[in-house]
Structure 1
Amino acid sequence: MAAQSAASAAEAAGAEGRDPRRWLILAVICVAQLMVVLDGTVMNLALPSAQQDLGFTDSDRQWIVTAYLLVFGSLLLFCGRLVDLIGRKQTFLVGLVGFAGASAIGGAATSFGMLAAARACQGLFAALLAPAALALLVTTFTDPKERGKAFGAFSAVAASGGGLGLIIGGSLTSSLSWRWCMYINLVFVVVAVAGSSLLMAKQPRTPGARLDVPGVVMVSSGMFCLVYGFSNASTHRWGTPSTWGFLIAAAVLLTAFARWQTRAGHPLLPPRIVLDRNRGGAYLTMLVAGAAMYGIFLFVIYYMQGIMGFSAIKSGVALLPMVAATAVAANVGNIRLMPRVGPKPLVTVGLLLGSAGMVWLTGIDVDSGYASALLGPLMIAGIGMGLIFGSAFRTGTSGVAAQDAGIASASIQTGQQIGGAIGLALLNTIATSSTANYVQDHVQGRPTPSLLHAATVHGYVSAFWWCAGIFALGAVVCGSLLRRGPLQAPAAAPPGKAAEPEKAARS
């Protein structure tokens, strides 16, 4: 009875503070988030066309993707704190307008340098836009039931955006031009700017707060070195100075940053944000998922195009079942399951499903068909990713005060970016080494095309086994870290005030 009364009080308090335009605001937030996420992959299938048009080399090609991820990952925490200091709506609009300008320049690029610079600027404004979008969601939805629906929609977009980026990129490149992979963002921005200007109230700044300049310098430099080091390892060797040198520098800078945060008067990332077991577990979950999901978005695409002979657009369409499964799982997880069981079982099951999907994918060979070898594991992995993202986004922002919503949002997205950089470097190295070893062990004279195809598939299978291991290890570690039980409902707020964000369940 007491629990029911508390829940009823919380629901009544949430009802008083509801914004009548909140569902329209959610649609605007999801449009912006979709643009940010899909731009991490939308250029992947367009790179050959852009390379031919602008005349840059194979070694330069990777930087069209890396420039975006490098700047995005490096500045997320800094921009997350700016969201709290300047205001959520203000930073959201600045991020949108800046992203539109960078996209227009990228679409009109006449050289590799111009395109790479535009992609880097996209990363800068995405780092401002992404935490602002999630922070707006956290502070707009205060009712627990409605928050579950809102996070379900947002998580579906975030989890499936990479796959949608491949679909959109392949479609635009095949039917129009690679340049439309840039210009398409202008459509998203027009919708989001108009919606946010009309629907969102001006967000207040955090009173009396200051920017932790030493913390910004240390964490931004450390994140840059970390992402650059792993990106360099994926295209060169681990033993090159440009790889291990940057990784050592990253370790030193990030260690110094962590120590500084315990002494700073106004820390960039307050320790209370990450030391909570549930939030810390959510950030670690996103790191694991970010690392392992590259086995899906990278090697499955390579396999479909290089071995199965799929076109760019056909490869994108082949991912649609996985995208649909991800969206459904994210919504069911957030709306139906999270209020009953909490994040622990959802994260654990989601990671185990990801592992199962990767193990299933190890059965591919040079003659496999899509329906028999890919459709099932992609659906299983998609369900797992939906459960993971749906649980992690909501848990990683639970229990934080409104003035910390931006930095908490940035923290969970930083975990995903770090994981992506690590996964890309590790899995590329494993696949390349396994392919080379297979050729060396089986070659008799000059390598034949059939041998090279078999060796390539062997490299992909090795990467899938590692992805399965990463998912499985994550299920054990993250599942152990997260607390049992559902997240607590927000406490009833005094009259005239919105309810506080939901608090993490206490063990």
Structure 2
Amino acid sequence: MSTLDHRTRPAEAPSIALPEPTAGHRMTRQQKLVLTLLLGAQFMIAVDFSILNVALPVVGRGLGFSLNNLQWVATAFALTAAGFTLLFGRVADLFGRKRLFLGGMAVLGASSALGGFATSPEMLLIARVLQGLATAAVTPAGLALLTTAFKEGPLREKALGLNGALMSAGFTAGAILGGLLTDLLSWRWAFFVNVPVAALVLILAPRVITDSRPSDRPKLDVPGAIAVTGGLLALVFGLTQAGAEGWGKPTTLGALLAGLVLLVAFRFIEQRSASPLVPVSIMKRRTVLWGNVAGLIAFVTETSLVFLLTLYLQEVLGYSPLATGLAFGVLGIGTVIGGTLGGRAVGRFGTRSTIVAGGVVQALATVSLVALGSSGAWIWLLLAATFVGGIGNMLMIVGFMVTATSGLPDAEQGLATGLATMTQQVGITMGIPIMSAIATARMGGSTGPDAVLSGVGVAILINSALVLLGALLAGLFLAPRRERRTTA
């Protein structure tokens, strides 16, 4: 039990009971501590998504991975992180968010140490699977603790804006940090860096965060959990196989088909379940449905754009992995600015307007990159466009997070944040194979700088069109601010 005083009302959902701010738009000291701790944990999780990307060739040489199997270092993490997020988000609601958050952080610290000491490919892959499971537990539990710590309104919007900024900045920082650690020390430090952070969170969290559980503990929807977890695992596996081996391979098509079948079955299971993992009513909410659609597009496009521009920087301009990571630092600055502005924009203009405006800005910045050429002078266009596009992308993401978690009782915040986190992780996983397939098709088997530039250009054009589509869908189907807040 936490040392902080808390209040639990009969039959109320789990919540963090914190003192109300003395002013409507000011955080208390305790809320700032909770925010700092949870944001630090989420930032570390985001770093893990990308910290090994630039170090993969070095990891392969160090442990004897074949080139064909090297993708599993990333895939093992993505599969478990995306596949188990929704299940763990509901488990957090049923059995305690704080408990799941702390347990996940402990597993993350231990698995990071295991990865750092790995002496074989099998040992490293086990560590990555455990890291993915820890991420699937920590991310929705941490977000649920965050949303229940701040009531709907300016403070929650500000907290989610900062969370989004740090999550996106963490993805970029991971590439930079991975390059620095690999060049200066060893790829093993990409794992070891997590251990002291996880230990610090485990020491401080029990004193800072408090939690309560519902008086009645409903049953877990086991058939639904099996269907949705299996479906997501198959879908993510199929997408990663598509990026590695192509969309026409039997393993790719079989996995994608199995994933779709299981997810459709999940829908029917939930309609008949007495204690559904995802109540059908929550998916009928426009805020949840279309908010997650906008979020999916935001993550698909921005993370895949980083991949495309990595190809451009390394294969066309000849940048090293470290120089490539540093070039994306400008994108990271843009996402931090976008995240800090996002909460204010939502409070002033509403979520729909914020998502639409962010999507239009990101689309315009992205489409300008079609003009990139083979001269090194084009780096200035890349830096300017990724900076502006990063701001727009974060406006979309903050608007998505606020939309997808608003108008719901505290009892369903773990579910809502689990859905939002699943959207984020599936989006990160989907984007790269989709855009890679588009670029590869355009290249037609050629690998020279001109062919890469042509393939990247076509993929960037489609990327920008997809962002614009997401903004239009949000504008058409999300309720205006006043209507949403009166019907929520």
Instruction: State whether residues 274 and 280 of structure 1, in contact with CA within 8 Å, keep that contact through their aligned partners in structure 2.
Output: yes
Instruction: State whether residues 235 and 259 of structure 2, in contact with CA within 8 Å, keep that contact through their aligned partners in structure 1.
Output: yes
Ranges in structure 1 where 5+ consecutive residues have no aligned partner: 1-12, 440-450, 489-503
Instruction: Confirm or deny that 1:378 pairs with 2:374.
Output: no
Instruction: Confirm or deny that 1:353 pairs with 2:361.
Output: yes
The percent of aligned pairs where both chains have the same amino acid is 31
Q: How does 1:395-434 map to 2 (within 5 A)?
A: 395-434=403-442
1:280 is displaced (CA, Å) by: 1.4
Aligned CA-pair RMSD: 2.0
Which of residues 178, 184, 191 is equivalent to 1:169? Answer: 178
Q: Hey, what does 1:32 align to over in structure 2?
A: 41
**Range moving further from structure 2, 452-461 or 126-135:** 452-461
Give the Cα–Cα distance (whole angstroms) in 2 for the partners of residues 44 and 317 of structure 1: 14
Amino acid aligned to 1:462: V
Instruction: Confirm or deny that 1:56 pairs with 2:65.
Output: yes
Which of residues 311, 320, 327 is equivalent to 1:302? Answer: 311
Task: Report the 3-state secondary structure (helix = DSSP H, G, I; strand = E; otherwise coil) of the residue aligned with 2:50.
Answer: coil
Q: Hey, what does 1:506 align to over in structure 2?
A: 487
Give the Cα–Cα distance (whole angstroms) in 1 for the partners of residues 345 and 74 of structure 2: 36
1:247 is displaced (CA, Å) by: 1.0
Alpha-carbon spacing, 1:435–1:382, altered in 2? closer, same or farther (3 Å): same
Alpha-carbon spacing, 1:302–1:477, altered in 2? closer, same or farther (3 Å): same
Instruction: State whether residues 438 and 459 of structure 2, in contact with CA within 8 Å, keep that contact through their aligned partners in structure 1.
Output: yes
Give the Cα–Cα distance (whole angstroms) in 1 for the partners of residues 395 and 386 of structure 2: 14
Give the Cα–Cα distance (whole angstroms) in 1 for the partners of residues 156 and 348 of structure 2: 14
Task: Report the 3-state secondary structure (helix = DSSP H, G, I; strand = E; otherwise coil) of the residue aligned with 1:24.
Answer: helix
Instruction: State whether residues 359 and 465 of structure 1, in contact with CA within 8 Å, keep that contact through their aligned partners in structure 2.
Output: yes
Instruction: Confirm or deny that 1:84 pairs with 2:80.
Output: no
1:213 is displaced (CA, Å) by: 0.3
Instruction: State whether residues 38 and 165 of structure 1, in contact with CA within 8 Å, keep that contact through their aligned partners in structure 2.
Output: yes
Which of residues 75, 88, 103 is equivalent to 1:94? Answer: 103
1:85 is displaced (CA, Å) by: 1.0
**Cα offsets for 1:316-338 (capped at 9, x unmatched):** 2211221111111121120x221
Alpha-carbon spacing, 1:160–1:398, altered in 2? closer, same or farther (3 Å): same
Instruction: Confirm or deny that 1:391 pairs with 2:372.
Output: no
Give the Cα–Cα distance (whole angstroms) in 1 for the partners of residues 345 and 298 of structure 2: 20
Q: How does 1:1-80 map to 2 (within 5 A)?
A: 14-15=20-21, 20-80=29-89
Which of residues 271, 276, 284 is equivalent to 1:267? Answer: 276
When normalised by structure 1's length, the TM-score is: 0.88
Amino acid aligned to 1:380: V
Instruction: Confirm or deny that 1:141 pairs with 2:150.
Output: yes
Give the Cα–Cα distance (whole angstroms) in 2 for the partners of residues 206 and 219 of structure 1: 27
When normalised by structure 2's length, the TM-score is: 0.92
Which of residues 280, 295, 314 is equivalent to 2:289? Answer: 280
For these two proteins, the number of residue pairs brought into alignment is 468
Instruction: State whether residues 155 and 390 of structure 1, in contact with CA within 8 Å, keep that contact through their aligned partners in structure 2.
Output: yes
Give the Cα–Cα distance (whole angstroms) in 1 for the partners of residues 152 and 143 of structure 2: 16
**Cα offsets for 1:469-488 (capped at 9, x unmatched):** 11111111122121112587
Q: How does 1:94-243 map to 2 (within 5 A)?
A: 94-142=103-151, 144-205=153-214, 207-243=216-252
Q: Hey, what does 1:7 align to over in structure 2?
A: none
Amino acid aligned to 2:487: R
Amino acid aligned to 2:478: L
Task: Report the 3-state secondary structure (helix = DSSP H, G, I; strand = E; otherwise coil) of the residue aligned with 1:79.
Answer: helix
Instruction: Confirm or deny that 1:256 pairs with 2:277.
Output: no
Give the Cα–Cα distance (whole angstroms) in 2 for the partners of residues 303 and 187 of structure 1: 35
Instruction: State whether residues 34 and 158 of structure 1, in contact with CA within 8 Å, keep that contact through their aligned partners in structure 2.
Output: yes
**Cα offsets for 1:86-127 (capped at 9, x unmatched):** 111111100000011111111111111111111111001110
1:397 is displaced (CA, Å) by: 0.9
Q: Hey, what does 2:460 align to over in structure 1?
A: 464
1:165 is displaced (CA, Å) by: 1.0
Amino acid aligned to 1:354: Q
1:248 is displaced (CA, Å) by: 1.0
1:174 is displaced (CA, Å) by: 1.2
